[in-house]
Amino acid sequence: MKVLWAPWRMGYILSNQNDNGCIFCPGKHRQNDENRLILGIGPLTLVMMNKFPYNNGHLLVAPVRHVPGLEHLSSDEVLDLMLMVRRSIELLKENMNPEGFNVGLNLGHVAGAGMEDHMHFHIVPRWKGDTNYMTVLGDVRVIPEHIQETYRKLLPFFNPSK
């Protein structure tokens, strides 16, 4: 797979306006949750859509605290994080009918982490044939549904107050 999203990742970093340069940390731009595609944020855990998804409905689940790895989290934070991973999978199943998921953690730059200082789970819904589709199109990843549309569809399920 060609690294088509490397320049996007750069755009991701450059477009971030938060205090510490981290896309997961709310900073003083908390009111921009919608621009940041935040689906839900609690005291310990947040879930957002990946602006540069590997597939439709690609979510990122992160602790609210800016830490690089699981070993920095309290047991309460780990539990809350895993509960949000589970809830995200459930809500994606209900709303997008995926046939499978890739769920994972990239820890450290060598492992492919884009924002290595703030650990986060990737949740990537999968449909039969999605990789074939991409290969046929010369390694270009095609996201059939506009990301804002997916965001608006999922938001009420993650955050019933919106």
Residues that bind Zn ion in the complex, under the rule CB under 5 A: 22, 24-25, 66, 118
- Report, in Å, the least distance between residue 37 CB and Zn ion: 15
In eight-state DSSP terms, residue 125 is E
Q: Which is nearer to Zn ion, 25 or 154 (CB)?
A: 25
- Report, in Å, the least distance between residue 22 CB and Zn ion: 3
Q: Which is nearer to Zn ion, 25 or 37 (CB)?
A: 25
- Report, in Å, the least distance between residue 25 CB and Zn ion: 4
Given the residues 29, 58, 109, 120, the one annotated as active site: 120
Q: Which is nearer to Zn ion, 24 or 52 (CB)?
A: 24
- Report, in Å, the least distance between residue 27 CB and Zn ion: 9
Q: Are 155 and 39 in contact (CB under 8 A)?
A: yes
Say whether 118 is catalytic.
no
**Residue/partner pairs of 62-69 with CB below 8 Å, 24 or more apart:** 62/24, 62/118, 62/119, 62/120, 62/121, 63/119, 64/26, 66/20, 66/22, 66/24, 66/25, 66/117, 66/118, 67/118, 67/119, 68/107, 68/108, 68/116, 68/117, 68/118, 68/119, 69/107, 69/119
Q: Which is nearer to Zn ion, 59 or 92 (CB)?
A: 59
> Catalytic residue positions?
120
